[in-house]
Amino acid sequence: MSLGVVRTKRGLARLAPILLSARLASAACTPVDHDHAAWTAILGRFVRGGEVAYGRLAREGAPMLASYLDGLSSACADDYARWGRAERLAFWINAYNAFTVKRIVDHYPIASIRKIGWLPGAAFRERFIPMPGLKGGTVSLDDIENGTLRADFREPRIHFALVCASRSCPMLRSEAYRAGDLDRQLDDQARTFLADSTKNRFDSATNTLHLSSIFKWFRADFEAAAGSLPGGTTTSSRPALA
């Protein structure tokens, strides 16, 4: 056998797993339910007033959650290219929130998501979210928030919709985000968050507005959309979702 044939066979052997992985990813591609009905069913059953019954979800709802997450992970780039902006935005918000909930369920009982991992923020940086068809592998919560949602959509209201399993974060809605209702849902999340006196308040004695740290961390996002930080505390200045 010639050296050239040997090298060719070795090359094909190395290439085979890659080709197999690509075929499996293509075969696993399934249409996404843009109503996200399965996620709404989970939220309606295990969330009350923004509080998740993690213990009961872990005992009774883990298969439901796993099935929904598998559906998200099966999304494909070809399908994604045909989705509208609102469908894409709703998909990633729901994915972020649902995988955050899974993170807590997988480590339950735990006091806070921030207790996961040795380093601060490790739970958000670890790549545990399979997205082979859309991202070519696994991604982290930070990847979804900063690398996709903030980078691709320039929609500051996501910061009122993304939950981090902490009391300092926005409340988790008891329904999934859906393209047809997304503007209304995001506006409602913004109003609810801004009206929460545990996160934002006006001190009339000192004429001082105390805002959530979210407005400090993501100040550039709000200013880019509304022209100023005060403008970003209203829901009147926003990009179209169509």
Kindly state whether residue 17 falls inside one of the protein's structural domains.
Answer: no
Kindly state whether residue 172 falls inside one of the protein's structural domains.
Answer: yes
Asked if 213 and 200 touch (Cβ cutoff 8 Å), the reply is no
Kindly state whether residue 20 falls inside one of the protein's structural domains.
Answer: no
- 122 pLDDT more than 60: yes
pLDDT at position 232 is 57
For residues 164-178, one letter each, b for 16 or more C-beta atoms within 10 angstroms of the residue's C-beta and e for the rest, the string is bbeeebbbbbeebbb
Kindly state whether residue 47 falls inside one of the protein's structural domains.
Answer: yes
- 238 pLDDT more than 90: no
Q: How many domains does the chain have?
A: 1
Q: Which two tokens stand for residue 119?
A: 């380093």
**Which bin fits 126, alpha (ψ -120 to 50), beta or left (φ > 0)?**
beta
- Distance in angstroms (rounded) separating the CA atoms of residues 229 and 119: 31
Kindly state whether residue 166 falls inside one of the protein's structural domains.
Answer: yes
pLDDT in tens, 49-100: 999 999 999 999 999 999 999 999 999 999 999 999 999 999 999 999 999 9
pLDDT in tens, 40-51: 999 999 999 999
pLDDT in tens, 140-159: 999 999 999 999 999 999 99
Kindly state whether residue 157 falls inside one of the protein's structural domains.
Answer: yes
Kindly state whether residue 2 falls inside one of the protein's structural domains.
Answer: no
Kindly state whether residue 140 falls inside one of the protein's structural domains.
Answer: yes
- Structural domain boundaries, residue 69: 30-232
